[in-house]
Structure 1
């Protein structure tokens, strides 16, 4: 009768795996739940103009954890600041009432809160508020559903190349092929996503070429990062990268609500991760003519550079682990475990 012998260290490995998975689930819960529990306006910058007494009264009563009040000399200056993304919206107290300047495409949640704030200011001044949406969503998608839905395809566009190409072109020999394939996929899929959003669902405006380049950069940043982690650390690296993009980057991206609706710390982390930077770049290219695109583009370029560096490091390590064909030839021996050495 044969007896099954458990390899030594199995219990320890099993314990580590179970604890690691439990920690991952807990981190996932925190990433999704905590930002939602503490969501709301957080230091949302808004421009205010009007008679000095009225503007100062708004700043004294409103400025605080929710709103960051910035005074401007004229309503035109407030409008310009909104269009340039210096502020998320604005209030102008005039003899005819209170003008509320919003940019719904820049952050629908902040727009709703600012509209309510404008109504409150108008009531205090015993007048009425008029809302001017300077940067709205498109007429075909007034709630921005297409923009919000775009993030998941972009994330999966980074995950799928590492997963599928790793199966088709495995090992060190297929590493450079996987990198080339991931970059080519980013170009094709990024152009397709931008085309669907602009010409299919009509969810975005702006220059298609610039928008497509931004989506391509976002997908390339995610795919190269995942490829690099997978090449260096195996499936553990792939799992780490996937959790970083999906479980942390997705809920902290702020694409659905706007960048000022998450707590400050969470929002900063989200904008530094590829999903958040990709969403910010898509929003600014599609609705703000590229104003403020430099920061998210640099973040994505940095992630892409790190991913490529990881791939090259793994490639170099793999080459060192491969027997030297020149050395085998000069020693008069042939390594039959590497048949490619015979055909060279």
Structure 2
């Protein structure tokens, strides 16, 4: 029979601390267990990682090899391309284009970020841009050209500005952030209710099926808000819906796989990947070409960056230049299902091989 605690909450037989300091130490040991201390330490590490990631990504946006098409008279074309590519720091990656029409198509199909039309008669050059892909990128490009040749004026022609209700073109970024957060929070909620590690593969697949239904509803709700409620990304309802559904399910399936592998620590890993690393590298606030190398290379490989690319390019650019983003989101979704199923099956098989516990002694 278990011993009944005394009036002060201390088990019988444990002497009371003789001094106030001793009593405080005893209470501290009971209030902050080693497990609690480790959890608090983990939260602190995530907090500092959050600060480092966001400040590191955004503290000094600098263009690096922004793709630019150049249209110029044949005698000057290569010289202009070489001059742009020779700017210190390599902020531009210039390539020739045969005509203004071809350069315009390259901008709208996202093969390049901008096109420079060089005037042969001393008039201002024209810079074709699409600020719906990120106004900060256009501003950075304009500054680079002004520093390269301050004596040559440049007129900006915006081929595809953001919708009036889209502000600075950030609606796709915020929609992607909400969808990803909803995905991993849904998997975390399922873990909080029924345990981070499902008892068997069948139960895990049932839970994934529920998350798939939630993902379809999540994509539907996001499309309704972005298209019909705020008119920020109008005219592409079906595309927004299914991109949103795949985004949510990719984050949910990956989050569940992390939990099957690591238990409750899998939730922390989801926060690290999707929030601490995924959001600043997604190319929303600043295009990827303005981010430091680590975030620039990481962003397209995470669901956040892939979702931003899909939402933005379907809303403004006819779905061009999205093949890689589709593969990335699909890989996270399929990979999460496979890793979670294999880990659950392995744990179940290992549990079957474990010896039966010895029967408890009488009394």
Question: Aligned partners of 2:319, 2:332: CA distance in 1, in Å?
Answer: 20
Distance in 1 between the 2:109 and 2:165 partners?
A: 24
For 2:111 and 2:140, locate their aligned partners in 1 and report how far apart those are by CA, in whole Å.
18
1:221 maps to which residue? 250
Q: Quote how far apart the aligned CAs of 1:101 are.
A: 0.4
1:106 aligns with 2:133: yes
Q: Is the 8 A contact 1:98 1:122 kept in 2?
A: no
TM score, norm. by length of structure 1: 0.82
Aligned with residue 141 of structure 1, among 166, 179, 203 = 166
Are the counterparts in 2 of residues 49 and 74 from structure 1 also a CA contact under 8 Å?
Answer: yes
Secondary structure at the residue paired with 1:150?
A: helix
Equivalent in the alignment of 2:57: 35
Q: What secondary structure, in the 3-state scheme, does the structure 2 residue paired with 1:202 have?
A: coil
Task: Give the drift of 1:207.
Answer: 2.8
Inter-CA distance 145–38: structure 2 relative to 1 (3 Å threshold): closer
Deviation at 1:300, TM superposition (A): 0.9
Q: Distance in 1 between matches of 2:246 and 2:270?
A: 17
Q: 1:120 to 1:322 in 2, by over 3 A?
A: closer
Match among 240, 260, 264 for residue 211 of structure 1? 240
Gaps (5+ residues) in structure 1? 325-344
> Which of 160, 164, 167 is 2:192 aligned to?
167
Shift of 1:118: 5.1
1:78 aligns with 2:103: yes
- Contact 1:82/1:90 (CA < 8 Å) preserved in 2? yes
Name which of structure 1's ranges 81-90 and 96-105 shifts more when overlaid on structure 2: 96-105
- 1:281 and 1:184 map into 2 onto residues whose CA distance is 21
TM-score if structure 2 supplies the norm length? 0.78
In the alignment, the residues of structure 2 paired with residue 150 and residue 306 of structure 1 have an alpha-carbon distance, to the nearest angstrom, of: 23
Specify every segment of 5 or more residues in structure 2 that has no aligned partner in the other structure, as ranges.
1-12, 16-25, 354-363
Conserved in 1, the CA contact under 8 Å of 2:64 and 2:92? Answer: yes
Equivalent residues in 2 for 1:2-13, closer than 5 Å: 2=14
Shift of 1:273: 1.1
Alignment of 1:1-344 (within 5 A): 1-2=13-14, 20-52=42-74, 54-63=76-85, 64=87, 65-94=90-119, 95=121, 96-117=123-144, 124-125=151-152, 128-170=153-195, 171-172=198-199, 174-320=203-349
In structure 2, what is the Cα distance between the partners aligned to 1:242 and 1:102?
35
* Comparing 140-149 and 64-73, the one that deviates more: 140-149
- Max Rg structure: 2
* Deviations 1:189-216, CA, capped at 9 Å, x for gaps: 1121122112221222453212221121
| DSSP 3-state at the match of 1:90 | strand
